[in-house]
Amino acid sequence: MNNKIEIIKGDITILEVDAIVNAANKSLLGGGGVDGAIHRAAGPQLLEECRMLNGCETGQAKITGGYNLPAKHVIHTVGPVWRSGNNNEEELLADTYKNSLEVALENSIKTIAFPNISTGIYGFPKEKAASIAIKVANEFLIDHPEIEKVIFVCFDRENYEIYNAGITTGI
């Protein structure tokens, strides 16, 4: 397990990192869950900047400022909605992590925090999602030592326990 990966339980909007990742929807114009919490904490200027981005495809990622957040930037990514598992959901979820990390690199971001993308309203099975997230982060950190810290922020206890189990079993 890469020692640059940290797992915490709590609210992603209070973290002082270079970037927090938002589990947004394709419009990038706000929503419920972590998206709503990030927009509330960042203030209305975030929505103004998001309006200029013309949305985002599933699996892709786009960056904005952090405005009133302690984080300098927000990387908005769109996770897949879980349907049956036969609609490329796993690859698309891996893409959200990979593309967010690529955007981080391009913007000299060294510390980045992720929520548990797609595991809320979008219904992705939590264990599968955690193993994808941890695997992508591990591989990316090996290839890109410039990234100093990847934090997985678990809002609910179930995800926190799953991530910790995943770390100890080395998935």
Residue type, 35: D
Is the distance from CB of 134 to CB of 163 less than 8 angstroms?
yes
The answer to whether residue 115 forms part of the interface with ligand ADP (CB under 6 A) is yes
Contact segment (CB under 6 A) with ligand ADP among 47-55, 66-74, 120-128, 143-151 equals: 120-128
37 lines the binding site for ligand ADP (CB under 6 A): yes
SS3 (DSSP) at 39: helix
Which of 2, 8, 27, 33: binder of ligand ADP (CB under 6 A)?
A: 33
Q: Which of 53, 121, 167, 171 touches ligand ADP (CB under 6 A)?
A: 121
- Choose between 15 and 101: whose C-beta lies nearer to ligand ADP: 15
Indicate left, alpha or beta for 101 from its phi (over 0: left) and psi (-120 to 50: alpha).
alpha
Instruction: Find all residues with CB under 8 Å of 130, minimum gap 6, and list them.
Output: 116, 152, 159, 162, 163, 166, 171
Annotate each residue in 59-98 with x if it binds ligand ADP (CB under 6 A) or - if it does not, as one string. Answer: --------------------x-------------------
Q: What angle do CA 94, 95, 98 make, to 5 degrees?
A: 90
* # residues contacting ligand ADP (CB under 6 A): 21
User: Is 143 annotated in the active site?
Assistant: no
Q: Any idea which residues carry the catalytic annotation?
A: 35
